[in-house]
């Protein structure tokens, strides 16, 4: 069966061949894999690209471990999801990460204080969501590797200073992302590119008097396209709303597992994409567990507690599953 690859694939392949850095190569490979149609004719090609991706990712991780130049180019995804903060200088991204996580990025009133990716884990109820503070999109030194972070993240958080001409700031961000070939998926599900990412607009600095009702203007202009939330990293207002909305956009469910005769541990759930089944949870525990599984009992979304369900039962958020093999 022929591969029938689209023109965008060959454009990404050309970028891969011309790339001189590991981040650029990974970014091109991610695009190629995202664009490639899924059928038998592409199985061998897909496997080859994934093999290259694994080697390059390992190389990036080794650079991260040894602290060589480029160590900030790759962050292993941890927690229930990864959100990258995207913004212009002085939008307050670093202050947000400092307020929401235990990370300690440099926070200052002058621009371009963030030169590398800084990661922090944000607690939300019984899970952790990974936040990545990135240099401004206008930082010339970072523009070669920022797209890799955009493509690797589950969600892009567009951070703007709502006290300073926030409409034009959002427009500039959208233009910069388009230049970096990063499309966004809005609330209506519209997609600008095969590698488009879910996004929300976070209007920071609502504590400043100059902010007034600017978040209302943002919602009026972009609310039909993206979620818009007003926050203040300084006084903490709106941050809980942001956490909840980010959890919703990740579109995941938390599933608890238990051993027969014992109580479940509700503090460390397994997180999976919404629509996942009992078999998917079993496989997340161990790849062979899925085939050994006979049935399961469910607490939460079942018709009654302890209901016997099959492998293809679709789980809901906070369900408890007891496996039987």
Clarify whether residues 53 and 119 are in a common domain.
Answer: no
Domain of 123, CATH number, reads 3.40.50.300
Residue 295 lies in a domain: yes
Question: What pLDDT score was predicted for residue 106?
Answer: 60
- Answer with the residue of higher pLDDT: 11 or 227: 227
- Residue 59, pLDDT above cutoff 80: no
Summarize the confidence of residues 222-250 as an average pLDDT: 94
How many other C-beta atoms can be found within 10 angstroms of the C-beta atom of residue 274?
12
End-to-end CA distance of the chain: 39
Question: What pLDDT score was predicted for residue 66?
Answer: 53
User: Distance between CA atoms of 24 and 47, rounded to whole angstroms?
Assistant: 20
Summarize the confidence of residues 217-224 as an average pLDDT: 92
- Answer with the residue of higher pLDDT: 201 or 293: 201
Cα 94 versus chain centre, distance:
18
pLDDT band at 314 (very low <50, low <70, confident <90, very high): very high
Domain of 306, CATH number, reads 3.10.20.30
- Residue 323, pLDDT above cutoff 70: yes
Clarify whether residues 98 and 204 are in a common domain.
Answer: yes
CA dihedral over 267, 269, 274, 279, signed as positive or negative: negative
Question: What pLDDT score was predicted for residue 191?
Answer: 52
Clarify whether residues 98 and 201 are in a common domain.
Answer: yes
- Residue 188, pLDDT above cutoff 70: no
Domain end, chosen from 232, 250, 268, is at 250
Lowest mean pLDDT among 116-125, 177-186, 209-218: 209-218
Count CA atoms closer than 13 A to 295's CA, side-chain side: 7
Residue 298 lies in a domain: yes
CA dihedral over 259, 260, 264, 270, signed as positive or negative: positive
- Residue 109, pLDDT above cutoff 50: yes
Clarify whether residues 134 and 185 are in a common domain.
Answer: yes
- Residue 205, pLDDT above cutoff 70: yes
Residue 1 lies in a domain: no
- Answer with the residue of higher pLDDT: 320 or 107: 320
Clarify whether residues 163 and 291 are in a common domain.
Answer: no
- Residue 57, pLDDT above cutoff 80: no
* Tens digit of each residue's pLDDT (9 = 90 or more) over 235-245: 999 999 999 99
Clarify whether residues 49 and 81 are in a common domain.
Answer: no
Cα 38 versus chain centre, distance:
23
* Tens digit of each residue's pLDDT (9 = 90 or more) over 256-311: 998 888 888 888 899 999 999 999 999 988 777 888 888 899 999 989 999 999 99
Clarify whether residues 51 and 193 are in a common domain.
Answer: no
pLDDT band at 177 (very low <50, low <70, confident <90, very high): very high
Domain end, chosen from 55, 72, 89, is at 72
pLDDT band at 209 (very low <50, low <70, confident <90, very high): confident
- Residue 193, pLDDT above cutoff 80: no
Clarify whether residues 231 and 290 are in a common domain.
Answer: no
Clarify whether residues 108 and 147 are in a common domain.
Answer: yes
pLDDT band at 132 (very low <50, low <70, confident <90, very high): very high
- How many structural domains are present in the chain? 3
- Answer with the residue of higher pLDDT: 171 or 292: 171
Clarify whether residues 112 and 236 are in a common domain.
Answer: yes
Residue 38 lies in a domain: yes
Question: What pLDDT score was predicted for residue 228?
Answer: 95
Summarize the confidence of residues 17-30 as an average pLDDT: 81
Clarify whether residues 175 and 81 are in a common domain.
Answer: yes
Domain end, chosen from 72, 104, 128, is at 72
| Residues 75, 117 contacting (CB under 8 angstroms) | yes
- Domain with 24 in it: 7-72
Clarify whether residues 220 and 85 are in a common domain.
Answer: yes
Residue whose pair of structure tokens reads 């061949």 in the numeric block: 17
User: Distance between CA atoms of 92 and 186, rounded to whole angstroms?
Assistant: 23
- Residue 232, pLDDT above cutoff 80: yes
Residue 2 lies in a domain: no
């Amino acid at each position: 069966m022929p591969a029938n690859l689209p023109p965008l694939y060959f454009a990404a392949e050309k970028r891969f061949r011309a790339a001189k850095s590991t981040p650029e190569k990974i970014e091109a490979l991610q695009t190629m894999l995202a664009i490639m149609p899924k059928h038998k004719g592409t199985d061998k090609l897909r496997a080859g690209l994934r093999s290259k991706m694994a080697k390059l990712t390992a190389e990036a991780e080794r650079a991260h471990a040894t602290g060589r130049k480029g160590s900030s180019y790759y962050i292993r995804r941890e927690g229930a999801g990864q959100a990258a903060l995207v913004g212009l200088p002085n939008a307050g991204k670093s202050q947000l990460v400092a307020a929401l996580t235990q990370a300690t990025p440099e926070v200052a009133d002058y621009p371009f204080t963030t030169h590398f990716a800084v990661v922090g884990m944000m607690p939300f109820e019984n899970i952790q969501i990974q936040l990545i503070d990135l240099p401004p999109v206008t930082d010339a030194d970072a523009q070669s590797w920022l797209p890799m972070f955009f493509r690797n993240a589950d969600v892009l958080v567009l951070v703007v200073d709502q006290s300073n001409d926030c409409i034009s700031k959002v427009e500039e961000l959208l233009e910069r992302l388009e230049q970096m070939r990063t499309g966004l998926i809005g609330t209506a599900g519209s997609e600008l590119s095969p590698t488009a990412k879910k996004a929300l607009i976070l209007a920071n600095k609502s504590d400043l008097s100059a902010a007034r009702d600017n978040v209302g203007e943002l919602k009026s202009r972009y609310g039909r396209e993206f979620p818009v939330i007003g926050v203040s990293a300084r006084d903490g207002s709106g941050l809980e709303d942001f956490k909840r909305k980010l959890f919703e956009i990740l579109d995941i469910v938390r599933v608890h597992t238990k051993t027969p005769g014992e109580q479940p541990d509700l503090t460390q759930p397994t997180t999976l994409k919404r629509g996942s089944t009992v078999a998917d949870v079993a496989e997340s525990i161990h790849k062979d567990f899925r085939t050994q599984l006979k049935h399961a009992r469910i607490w939460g979304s079942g018709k009654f507690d302890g209901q016997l369900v099959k492998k293809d039962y679709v789980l809901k958020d906070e369900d408890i599953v007891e496996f039987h093999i």
